[in-house]
A and B are shown apart, each in its own frame.
Chain A
């Protein structure tokens, strides 16, 4: 208990940003509105520089856990830095996005458990995957 109270005094830096950089995925690609919304709701919390934090992020060790997830997520793929990737890496990333959504590995179960709106319905999957495939074909 003392430990739990103690760790509450360790603040973590937040992954938050007011501006969307010009290198952002939805800014540079002509992404349909429905796809854009789905990406922002289901992916951007961990794969961009701006997380919509839940209330319980005010508590430790939750904040550490989330920070670690977000750090890893952004290392793998940061939609905000899309144009900084070479074409070769864009194709690689798109391929992984498609695979991960297809196999329902993303969004993570631990994330959708709390964010029910982030779940991909079958239509959502089809819509996002089709868009990602067309984008990938246009780069390849």
Chain B
């Protein structure tokens, strides 16, 4: 008898749980739908536009990060680092050749982007150096639609490179301290 009572109690409890969960879902689903639809729409358009969209998104986040470092802006660099980490994680590697190399590059770059999202500016610049090397290598695999300039500062940490969309040098490793230190090392088309 005791067992029966207990199982009835269990079944009742389980039913209440299932019902309450499904109610919640239904409500949530109804609220979310219009936004979700909108998101799916944008996704569909961007996917059909070009397979390079994600690589371009990575570069665009990287340039925001670079600009924040040029401006000595620690908190903006943190935000950009976080966004960059997200776009790195969403790159669809299957679209490219050299998948293994690209996977290694993205994994490493992501680790540096994550660190940048939670460090002081000196550390951000240390990580930015390796991150830049990773992205220069990434571009060699993914290519680029816009002209990029690989720039180089011989003074920072035994010589450090970075990417820019402009030919004019704005140094992310020193910021206002030595804004124009560096040179264009290579043009990437």
Contacts and interface: CB of A to CB of B under 8 A. Distances in A.
B111 A92 contact: yes
A89 B126 contact: no
B130 A86 contact: no
Given A95-B130, A99-B126, A88 B104 contact: yes
A86 B112 contact: no
Nearest to B130: A92
Interface in A76-90: 86-89
Contacts of B111: 89, 92
Q: Which of B108, B112, B134 has the most CB of A within 10 A?
A: B108
Contacts of A89: 104, 107-108, 111
Nearest to B126: A99
Interface residues of A, number: 7
Nearest to B107: A89
Contacts of B105: 88
B112 to A, nearest CB: 7
A88 B126 CA distance: 16
Interface in B109-125: 111-112
A76 to B, nearest CB: 9
A99 B134 CA distance: 19
A86 B104 contact: yes
Interface in A36-93: 86-89, 92
A99 B104 CA distance: 22
A86 B105 CA distance: 9
A86 B99 CA distance: 13
Interface in B88-107: 104-105, 107
B107 A86 contact: yes
A108 to B, nearest CB: 15
B108 A86 contact: yes
A92 B104 contact: no
Interface of A: 86-89, 92, 95, 99
Given A86-B108, A88-B108, A88-B134, 13 more contacts: A86-B104, A86-B107, A88-B104, A89-B104, A89-B107, A89-B108, A89-B111, A92-B108, A92-B111, A92-B112, A92-B130, A95-B130, A99-B126
The 4 closest A-B pairs by CB, nearest first: A86-B104, A88-B104, A88-B108, A89-B108
